[in-house]
Amino acid sequence: MTLSPAQEYRVTAARFGELVDGVSDPAVWERRSPVPEWSARDVVRHVVEWFPSFLEDGAGITLPQGPSVDDDPVAAWHTMSDGVQALLDDPSSADKVLSNPHIGEVPVPAAVSQFFTSDVFMHTWDLARATGQEVVLDPDRCAAYLEGMLPLDDVLRASGQYGPKVEVPVDADAQTRLLAFIGRDPHA
């Protein structure tokens, strides 16, 4: 069953939100993540801070702004995420277009799905690892994301957003292969 962008985001954000809410010791936010030079707090900072300006610059849509990630990573995540969900749940968002010089014009729900939901999905593993929580990513989504990214390998590496691929056995599961492709050591 194919999920709508709103449904897909709801599932993805709920899992990320569970991990955010699962941090009971403030010191955990400073633990290292699998992303070089990022702490657990930085993982949340990344997903909270880059997307609102991308959406505002490209579609003129302003998301609600919560506290800073430094002050309250939990509230910062939930405020921004609730705003994204409200946008996707609004039927009028289907008529809005995001315009960007690198990607052209994309309907807002498709842009959210392609650029933000996928980012939150992949960083869910980073946040789980940094905070000492367990997560298993949906294998079908892992396989679909990997299949879509493989033809763009050179472009993705050139962007600087992905580390060098990590070697894993060819028969590794979809999550392991996706994580290795985006430059994470799936066994770390």
Mind listing the pLDDT tens digit for each residue in 82-138? 999 999 999 999 999 999 998 899 999 999 999 999 999 999 999 999 999 999 999
pLDDT, tens digit, 9 for 90 and up, residues 34-58: 998 999 999 999 999 999 999 999 9
**Structural domains of the chain in order of their starting residue, each with its CATH number:** 5-135 (1.20.120), 137-188 (no CATH)
Closest listed residue to residue 15, CA positions, set 47, 42, 37: 47
Collapsing DSSP to helix, strand or coil, 32 comes out as strand
Residues 89 and 84: their CA atoms lie apart, in Å, by: 9
Q: What is the pTM of this model?
A: 0.93
